[in-house]
Amino acid sequence: MTADAPRSFYDEVGGHETFTRLVDAFYRGVADDPVLRPMYPEADLGPAADRLRMFLEQYWGGPAAYSQRRGHPRLRMRHAPFHIDPAARDRWLAHMRAAVDELELAPLHDATLWDYLQRAAHAMVNTFEPAGIGPAAAGRESAPLTVVARPADPAA
């Protein structure tokens, strides 16, 4: 990067360390979520966490490791096998909101990241049939997830 080149969002928010913290916090919530956890067939969530971290880092201007290892992201295609309804989307967003909050980013960075995550989550919805998420969704009850509203930013 030259002195005249603008910094990427990735660099502005703290790079690899920040995205690692985000993804680790997110998967702490997913690990015990009875609706989202079945989306991850691996016993260890580590590989899924690595994929999400690499994807987000690349998207926000960091290393291109995701594409080098997995090719084009094709998010809709990669999520197509899973039953992602609005309730599952909302659970995903609740865990991600908690993870973003842990970062304590500057308000503009927080809003920028959150806007993208919301749009991405809405784009992944592929059914309106209420059955949860993941290949084993049939017959599984949906467990409640409490979502706590964030206080309004007094500076806004």
Question: Measured between alpha carbons, how far is 145 from 132 in angstroms, rounded to an integer?
Answer: 13
- Given pLDDT bands bounded at 50, 70 and 90, which one contains residue 3? low
Of 95-99, 114-118, 144-148, least confident by mean pLDDT is 144-148
**Looking at beta carbons, which pairs linking 8-13 to residues 24 or more positions away fall under 8 Å?**
8/60, 8/61, 8/62, 9/60, 9/61, 9/109, 9/112, 9/113, 10/57, 10/60, 10/61, 10/62, 11/61, 11/62, 12/109, 13/60, 13/103, 13/105, 13/109, 13/113
**CB count, 10 Å around CB of 81?**
11
- Given pLDDT bands bounded at 50, 70 and 90, which one contains residue 101? very high
DSSP, collapsed to helix, strand or coil, labels residue 80 as coil
Quick one: pLDDT at residue 41?
78
* Average pLDDT over every residue of 109-133: 88
Query: How do residues 32-63 score in pLDDT, each as one tens digit?
Result: 999 889 888 778 899 999 999 999 999 999 99
DSSP, collapsed to helix, strand or coil, labels residue 136 as coil
Q: Indicate the pTM of the whole model.
A: 0.77
Question: Measured between alpha carbons, how far is 154 from 156 in angstroms, rounded to an integer?
Answer: 5
